[in-house]
Structure 1
Amino acid sequence: MSPRKSVAESRLTRQRILDTGLVIASAEGLEGLTIGRLAAELGMSKAGVIGHFGTKESLQLAVVDTAVELFVREVPERARGVARGLPYLRAACEAWISYLEREPLPGGCFFTAAAAEFDGREGPVRDAIARADETWRRELRVTIWRAVSLAELPPDTDIDQLLYEIVAIMLALNHFLQLHRDREAPKRARRALERLF
């Protein structure tokens, strides 16, 4: 086997581990993600999985990064090209609803579950989850500010309050979809956002 093929195969194996790990973690939490569970799921040895990550914490951090990549592909990238300000805010929120509605992960929104699992803890995994959340909230905050500055939203709009309410709607949507299997929840979320905008 050539070294180039070996490196490519190693990357593919690592990605398979991460994709499987993300699916497991979305439904069972990052703590439910073990080297042994992944090895069994993928038909690999524990040493084979450990060889790619070294520690469970490194694996968890890599899964968080994989979840970020999925969210970026599914939400902000789907709104790219839309005019900044209120049109982008609407498009991003619609992409976010669509993402939750299509349920690309069996446990719903990875970050909602991971935040609930790690919010009372300290350490690198909690920090990575918080950083990903803050990055997305910062993008939304800037978008709301731009919509206000372009007079697409009222000049007295409380930017942080509007951001809070958007996030609250999305958390409620995930809750109703996952816990109650409420197929009407996306319509309610869209109506709630329309009232805000």
Structure 2
Amino acid sequence: MAGRPRDDRTRHAILRRAADIASVNGLEGLSIGQLAADLGVSKSGLFGYFGSKEELQLATIRTAAGVYLDEVVRPALAVPPGVGRLWLLCDRWLSYSERRVFPGGCFFFTVTAEFDARPGRVRDAVAAAGREWSRLVAGTIDDARRLGELAEDTEPDQLAFELIAFLETANAVSLLYDDPVAYRRARTAVRRRLHAAATGSAAPPWDDAAG
């Protein structure tokens, strides 16, 4: 029991480094040898934490999800439901990608493209994370609609699809073309879409936002 805190710290360090690598090279790009060298641990010791490459991949997804929650979701959930929370979800997502919390941009954008057509446990875990994010955005939209801050005929799933598309496009364009302006364009697109859907009772929280 005395070694457990150290073991937990080592495991977390392994997985955080694994998430950084996977954001650039994909989950298939994870190498026990590279991780061991990067972190100064033995291959056998590192393998002992997970037992297989698939278990390492699944644990890496869980670690990345925790970072995502801290960077994007929890700050937005700290404000009251409504258009303000919806805007903050989008803005925090763009900030998380723009600041390269993971060096390859959004971790889940990278691994979704890698596993979208490959059945198995890893794909299922990636898909579950994506569905949870989409449901959160759609649920936040529905809350704003019920509060009268978005038009009554707003379709939460459709608007969520559009907003997420803006975010993911900024991530992709920024990475491929090394274009930081993509994030400004995405914020403009989100603002315009929310303005179009908002009612007169919605206080536009994005007007004074940076970026």
**Corresponding residue to 2:188 among 183, 187, 191:** 191
How many Å separate the matches in 1 of 2:113 and 2:78?
Answer: 33
Structure 1 match to 2:132: 135
**Residue deviations 1:128-166, cap 9 Å, x none?**
111111111111111111111112111111222111101
Query: How far is the alpha carbon of 1:188 from its aligned partner?
Result: 0.5
Q: 136, 147, 151: which is aligned to 1:150?
A: 147
Question: Given residue 141 of structure 1, which amino acid in structure 2 is its aligned partner?
Answer: A
Runs of 4+ in 1 over 4 A off after TM superposition: none
TM norm structure 2: 0.89
When the two chains are superposed, the root-mean-square deviation of aligned CA atoms in Å is: 1.0
1:95-133 CA distance string (max 9 Å, x none): 111111111111110000000000001111100111111
User: 1:152-195: CA deviations, max 9, x gaps?
Assistant: 11111122211110110011010111111111111101110011
Post-superposition offset of 1:29: 0.6
Q: Give the Cα–Cα distance (whole angstroms) in 2 for the partners of residues 48 and 27 of structure 1.
A: 25
Q: Does 1:91 align with 2:68?
A: no
CA distance in 2 between counterparts of 1:61 and 1:147 reads 34
Is the CA contact (8 Å cut-off) linking 2:138 and 2:157 kept in structure 1? yes
Shift of residue 81, structure 1, vs aligned partner: 2.4
Where does residue 18 of structure 2 map in the other structure? Answer: 21
Quote how far apart the aligned CAs of 1:43 are. Answer: 2.0
CA shift digits 1:27-85 (9 cap, x unpaired): 11100102122112222211011110010000000000011000000001111321102
C-alpha separation between the residues in 1 aligned to 2:15 and 2:178? 27
1:169 aligned partner: 166
Identity over the aligned pairs, expressed in percent?
45
Give the Å deviation of 1:10.
1.0
CA distance in 1, matches of 2:66, 2:38: 22
Contact 2:134 2:161 in 1 (8 A): no
Aligned twin of 1:70: 67
Match of 1:140, SS?
A: helix
Q: Helix, strand or coil: the match of 1:13?
A: helix
Query: Matches of 2:88 and 2:105 in 1, distance apart?
Result: 20
